[in-house]
Each structure stands twice: as C-alpha cells, then as structure tokens.
Amino acid sequence: MGSNKYDERNTVNDLTGSEWKFSTKTVINKPYPINMQHKLRSEHGGQKPPELCEDLIKIFTKRNDLVLDPFMGVGGTLLGASLCDRRAIGIDINSRWIEIYKQVTELENLQEQVTMEGDSMVKLDEIENESVDFILTDVPYWNIDTLKKTRNKKIKQSKLNDFENHTQQQTKEEWLEEMVNILKKSAEKLKEGKYMAVFIGDVYREKQYHFLSAELGLELSKVEGLTMKSNIIWVDNSKSLHVFGYPRAYVPSMMHQNILVFRKETI
Ligand SMILES: C[S@@+](CC[C@H](N)C(=O)[O-])C[C@H]1O[C@@H](n2cnc3c(N)ncnc32)[C@H](O)[C@@H]1O
C-alpha cells in the first residue's frame, strides 16, 4: 500500500498503491479544464467536466469495463469513459443532448459510446441485469414551482430549467421518488460488488437549505442490496460567488456538489 506498484490482487481498478490511497480522498478540489467543446456542451447548463468523470471512472473500474449513465446529458460520463478506454452506455430523454454529445465525439475524435434516447425507466429494460461494472450519473435538477417566486429571475429563465425536459413542476417528494426508482432500476444492471456514484447538488431555495444529497442518500440506503460507502465533495471552482442576502442575511454560495457512492452487496 502506498507504493507505485500495481497489486495483481486488485479487483477494483487499475491504480497503483499510491494512486489508490490518493483516490480515497473525500474532497476533490482539483481544477478541471474548460475544454472538449465546452461552449457546445454548455448549451445544456448542467454538464460535468469529462476529466472529472474520467478520474472517478478510474477509481471504480478497470480498462474495458462497462459504465452506465441513465441521465447522460451531453455526455460527461461517456466522454470520460472514452478518455480512459472504458465502454459506456448513456440514456437521455432529450434527443438534443445526445445529438450534442455525438457532435463532441466527432470534433474531439473520440470513440462514440452507445446512446439510447428515452425515459430511463423504460430504456433500462433493454440492458441486461448484472452486466454493468460501474454507474456514474448526475441526477436531473429538482424543478420546484416556488422557483418562480425567487428573486433570481435569471435562474428561472436559464438553461437549467430547459435541460431537464421536465416542463411540469414536482414536489421534492415526487422528485425523490422518481430518482430513487430510476437509480434502483439502474442498480439492477450492476454486477455484484460493483459501485454506483451519483452527482447531486444541494440547493438553497425559498430562504432554506435543502439537503437533497442527504435525503437521496438516505432513501437509496433503504434499497435492499445497496450500501452507501461515501459522500465525496466536488468543489466546483467554476462557480461564481453570490451576494443575494447582503447586507441582512447569510445566503450560501453553492460551490460544491456531492458524489454519493454506493456498492451493490446483495450476497
Ligand atoms: C444533470 S443532467 C446530466 C448532465 C450530464 N452529467 C452531462 O455531463 O452533461 C440530467 C439529465 O437527465 C435527463 N433526464 C431527466 N429525466 C430523465 C429520464 N426520466 N430518463 C432519462 N433522462 C432523463 C435530462 O434530460 C438531463 O439531460
């Protein structure tokens, strides 16, 4: 452990001992480059840096392993998989995002991964159970009707609302239920002993902090066969600071996202 050697008994990844040790850090504060057709991908508004996804994929898989993303967007996970020679399947309900992903792979000369258009709740049926080595996904934004009332009209009109393709508003409970159902079904696709990592940002709305990561983490921990193993904090250095409450109230500037890590342990 802690050596520069790869241990032949390693069943989790291709990392050396020292790389493994580094990979267990619960905070990721490395800056990621604004690259890989960032302008094109930013039409989405919720895209993740492909190199961040690559770093995570390398922690939980070996070369040629199969990665699944049931909420692929413009393909942070799929691009990350191509960068480190993993195979991947992505699903998105919005054809525009899949189209952008395909353009990016062409422009970047990267291998195009398998994509499926439609509701994951339905499309996941086309993937064989226990065939996937890792799930890396990023849940859709919770659309709350009270968002309209917030002072930040810019957010309301931004791409964040469009990219989800959910024009209807949901209560937090409805949103949580939908996320749990899709992630539970996704986990059925995982091989025994393999991992699922879920990006989720907490939100500050209506003068209140919503601990969405904790709520989703607790709900998913109730799913039989899934054990929560970590909550990694990703510091998103691209976020700008806000002064919404100044000078009368403290309002947080959300600079981080959570990455909830689960392991499939049914036996
Ligand atoms: C947070 S974004 C993912 C962004 C992605 N990580 C990236 O790098 O581009 C969530 C995506 O889930 C998709 N989505 C929402 N509900 C869905 C569903 N039921 N089935 C499949 N995709 C869905 C949205 O269209 C959106 O692109």
Question: 7 CB contacts (<8 Å, ≥6 apart)?
Answer: 17
Tell which atom from ligand 1 comes closest to the C-alpha of 137.
6
Among the listed residues 39, 130, 136, the one whose alpha carbon sits nearest the alpha carbon of residue 91: 136
195-238: per-residue pLDDT in tens? 999 999 999 988 999 999 999 999 999 999 999 999 999 999 88
What residue's CA is closest to ligand 1, atom 7?
A: 47
Closest protein CA for atom 27 of ligand 1? 73
Could you give the CA distance from residue 159 to residue 139 in angstroms, rounded to a whole number? 16
- Contact 71 CB / ligand 1 (< 6 Å): yes
pLDDT in tens, 177-196: 999 999 999 999 999 999 99
In the reported structure, the alpha carbon of residue 165 is separated from the centroid of ligand 1 by a whole-number distance in angstroms of 8
pLDDT of residue 265: 96
Expressed in angstroms and rounded, the spacing between residue 25 Cα and the centre of ligand 1 is 27
* Domain range annotation of the chain: 25-264
Q: What is the pLDDT of residue 158?
A: 41
Task: Say how far apart CA 139 and CA 257 lie, in whole Å.
Answer: 11
Q: Is 119 in the pocket of ligand 1 (CB under 6 A)?
A: yes
Q: Is 115 in the pocket of ligand 1 (CB under 6 A)?
A: no
CA 114 / ligand 1 centre spacing (Å): 15
CB-based contacts of 12: which residues, under 8 Å, 6+ apart? 59, 60, 62
pLDDT < 50 positions in the chain: 145-167
Per-residue pLDDT at 240 = 85
DSSP string over 88-139: EEEEES-HHHHHHHHHHHHHHT----EEEES-HHHHGGGSPTT-EEEEEEEP
Where are the alpha helices (H) located in 124-249, listed in sequence order?
153-157, 159-162, 172-188, 212-221
Which pLDDT value is given to residue 144? 59
pLDDT given at position 30:
95
Q: Six-digit token pair at 97?
A: 């995002």
Instruction: Give yes or no for a cis peptide into 33 (omega within 30° of 0).
Output: no
pLDDT (0 to 100) of residue 166: 47
Q: What tokens were used for 211?
A: 């601990």
Element (H, E) at 228: strand 226-235
pTM of the model: 0.92
- How far does residue 153's CA lie from ligand 1's centre (Å)? 23
Tell me if 220 sits within 8 A of 208, measured CB to CB. no
pLDDT value at position 168? 62
**CATH number, domain 25-264:** 3.40.50.150
194 lines ligand 1 (CB under 6 A): no
How many angstroms is it from 247 CA to the middle of ligand 1? 36
Question: Does ligand 1 lie within 6 Å of residue 165's CB atom?
Answer: yes
Residue 168 DSSP class: S
Q: How far apart are CA 133 and CA 193, in angstroms?
A: 9
Candidate from 71, 96, 198 with most ligand 1 atoms within 8 A of CB, to mutate:
71
CA of 92 to the centre of ligand 1 (A): 6
Q: Residue 2 has what pLDDT? A: 59
Between the CA of 28 and the centroid of ligand 1 the distance, in Å, is 23
Q: Is residue 97 lining ligand 1, measured as CB closer than 6 Å? A: yes
